[in-house]
Structure 1
Amino acid sequence: MKMKGKKSLTVAAGLLLVVLLIAWSGVSETVKLLSQTRLRYLALACLISALETFLWSLRWQILLKQSDIRIPFKRVLEATLIGIFVNNVTPGARGGGEPVRMYLIKKRSESSYGKIFATIATDRMLDAIPIVIFTIIAFWYALDLGTHLVLVVLLVSVIIVVSVILLSILFSLNERLAMGLLMRIFRLIRRIFPRKFEDKEEKAEEIIKTHVMDFKKTFVMLSKNKLALFGSTTISFMIWISALLRTYLVFLSLNYPLALHKVLMVQMAGMAVGLISIIPGGIGITEAIFSALYLSLAIDKTLAVTATMVDRTLSFWIPTLVGALIATHLGIRLTEEG
């Protein structure tokens, strides 16, 4: 109850920050700007936002198929949306959605948790290539424009993202580190539920070791599969390009054709906000940072805040709501299936 209370407080603080941002930008000015929205561009932005989720699910299904895990695309899409929902209500590194994705695929297949998790880890790591390339381009533009705030946030963002990727690779390839981490997690769970896991450490260690071996074997196999990696990496670029186009269209719908390279700078600078936020989904903090980054590019405060809010609605709130609805429905169905 204490944890739930703290979580509720942080979410409330984030929502309050959103309200304060809108009030600061001017409520009447925001309403006026929204009333002039060009709906065809907003509709296109919505479609592209949906395309991002579709492409992410497609990329994951390619990896699942290459690992001999046969799952219908509909189920992969469901698991992806539920993972998005759980990640968006999880503070910090937003990793809560990955175990949920793994569990849902496990329910629909005969594969081991280790094998499924290897596809999820590979899926997440495939973002590294477009991130590095787009960040270098963003740095070049930021240096050319002399936007110090964007440069600083870009640097911090890169350090965080690269650290996460390197640590993921390290734990993926080092069996001892992976075993040590998972056993610490098991002991923590055992302390929380002492009766349920009493005298089960030896059995748990044996099960975890089997899954770690499955994970490592699948991860190495996927990393050597050039065709799967090429196809998945291509989709990764398409996902990031779609995200840039979505934001570009949001500004266009508000009658402001913001240059695509400026969209790129802000997107790459703000990508790691959610990883360090103590508020689930970075609510409030993400909006504030993105608005500040747009302001640093000499964009009017009402436009900066309104565009950020609209973009967050498409990229955060709508997928979170859809994922929550599917999770509720699927949860009932799974219970019925036993």
Structure 2
Amino acid sequence: MSDGNGSTRAKVVGFVGALGLLGVLLWVAGFEDVLAALGQASLPVVGAMVAVALCWLLAWGLALRTVLGGLDIQLSVPRSFLVFAGAMFANNVTPFGQAGGEPVTALLISRATDSEYETSLAAIASVDALNFVPSIGFALMGVAYMATEVTFDARLGYAAASVGALAVALPALAYVGWRHRYRVEQAAVRVVTPVIRGISRVIPRRSPPTADALERRIEGFFRTIERVGADRRTLLVALGFSALGWLAQMCSLWLSLYALGHAVSFGAVMLVIPLGSVAGVTPLPGGLGGIEAVLAALLVPTTGLALATVSAAVVLHRAATYLLSTAIGGGVAVASGATGGG
């Protein structure tokens, strides 16, 4: 019971911190100026933003459906949309974003597909890993395009360096991890098994799982990851849907600026959206506050617009992505009973 209270307390603290950071951003930009900019927003364009945000959820839901299909687990298109919306809800209300939300997401997938939990966890972990690939590609294209459009200041130089570092580090880490995946698996068994057994001892009415049972589950997780990685067709199709999802997010941010009367270079959003998503790994629920701050900080030098204007655009964009996915996904999570009510 105390674990549940601690989890709730951590979420509350996270949201308070996130809202505080968001408040600081709006205070620096000027509350009145941001509100004035929002008052000028074109409602038809805002409606288009919502439609684009739904396309983003659908595209990434189809990426998840593709990975599950490669594991012989069937999920319809409508259910894949709803399950992925539930995944976004879990990410958006949990500190450390995807890392914190994946266990709840795996539970949603397991219940929706009647599959084993570790298989579901491996599936969503694979989708999250695949999503990094097109994001780095888009960011590199954004850097290349913006290099011909603007003079790089310190912030853009740092952003370009960050993209370059990620473009090198992520493939290198993936390669090393894949080459030594059996060692990683053995290390995970040694580390996770005593932790899980220790937690199980303090949970009422739960007997600790045996070490052999935990080892089989962890091995099953890694076998599933290996199976996904060996299926090239599944990887290519899932990467295609992932790229479409990133493109939809970029269109949402571009439309948010267009709704305020500014048709900016698309290269700007190609750069800032992937870098903004990195802030999702902070201890803030869904990166709330951190993502907005990064997006606004990068949009000012890439677009030449005032901080109040780009802050208003970021508010619109995040309302169409963060709030919409949280609202839809929250309903899914409650309906499936994955919010911990039992």
TM-score, normalization by structure 1: 0.85
Unpaired runs of at least 5, structure 1: none
Task: Report the alpha carbon displacement of residue 37 of structure 1 after superposing the two structures with TM.
Answer: 1.5
Task: Report the alpha carbon displacement of residue 47 of structure 1 after superposing the two structures with TM.
Answer: 0.4
* Corresponding residue of 1:269: 275
Counterpart-to-counterpart distance in 2, 1:81 and 1:161: 28
SS of the aligned residue for 1:126 comes to helix
Counterpart-to-counterpart distance in 1, 2:308 and 2:227: 50
Number of equivalent positions:
334
For each residue in 1:24-70, what CA deviation from the matched residue of structure 2 results, as whole angstroms up to 9, or x when unmatched?
32333333322221122111111010111111111111221221112
Pick from 180, 186, 192 the counterpart of residue 185 of structure 1.
Answer: 192
Counterpart-to-counterpart distance in 2, 1:291 and 1:40: 23
Is the aligned partner of 1:207 residue 2:220? no
Counterpart-to-counterpart distance in 1, 2:153 and 2:24: 25
1:206–1:167 CA distance, 2 compared to 1 (3 A): farther
* Corresponding residue of 1:294: 299
Counterpart-to-counterpart distance in 2, 1:278 and 1:71: 32
SS of the aligned residue for 1:71 comes to coil
For 1:184, the aligned partner's letter is V
Counterpart-to-counterpart distance in 2, 1:267 and 1:102: 26
| Larger mean Cα displacement after TM superposition, 179-188 or 122-131 | 179-188
1:306–1:187 CA distance, 2 compared to 1 (3 A): same
Is the aligned partner of 1:280 residue 2:285? yes
For each residue in 1:154-174, what CA deviation from the matched residue of structure 2 results, as whole angstroms up to 9, or x when unmatched?
433664687567656766662
Pick from 154, 161, 170 the counterpart of residue 148 of structure 1.
Answer: 154
1:122–1:9 CA distance, 2 compared to 1 (3 A): closer
The 5 Å alignment of 1:1-338 reads 1=5, 4-92=8-96, 94-144=98-148, 145=150, 146-156=152-162, 159=165, 174-195=181-202, 204-275=210-281, 277-297=282-302, 298-331=304-337
Q: RMSD across aligned C-alpha pairs, in angstroms?
A: 3.2
| Larger mean Cα displacement after TM superposition, 12-21 or 326-335 | 326-335
Counterpart-to-counterpart distance in 1, 2:340 and 2:14: 31
Counterpart-to-counterpart distance in 1, 2:276 and 2:306: 19
SS of the aligned residue for 1:96 comes to helix
1:135–1:23 CA distance, 2 compared to 1 (3 A): closer
Counterpart-to-counterpart distance in 1, 2:143 and 2:339: 48
1:56–1:38 CA distance, 2 compared to 1 (3 A): same
Contact 2:83–2:112, Cα closer than 8 Å, also in 1: no
Task: Report the alpha carbon displacement of residue 209 of structure 1 after superposing the two structures with TM.
Answer: 3.1
Task: Report the alpha carbon displacement of residue 90 of structure 1 after superposing the two structures with TM.
Answer: 2.0
Task: Report the alpha carbon displacement of residue 319 of structure 1 after superposing the two structures with TM.
Answer: 0.8
| Larger mean Cα displacement after TM superposition, 168-177 or 184-193 | 168-177
Contact 2:201–2:207, Cα closer than 8 Å, also in 1: no
Counterpart-to-counterpart distance in 1, 2:247 and 2:266: 10
Counterpart-to-counterpart distance in 2, 1:266 and 1:196: 44
| Larger mean Cα displacement after TM superposition, 136-145 or 254-263 | 136-145
Contact 1:115–1:214, Cα closer than 8 Å, also in 2: yes
Contact 1:83–1:100, Cα closer than 8 Å, also in 2: yes
Counterpart-to-counterpart distance in 1, 2:100 and 2:300: 33
For 2:273, the aligned partner's letter is Q
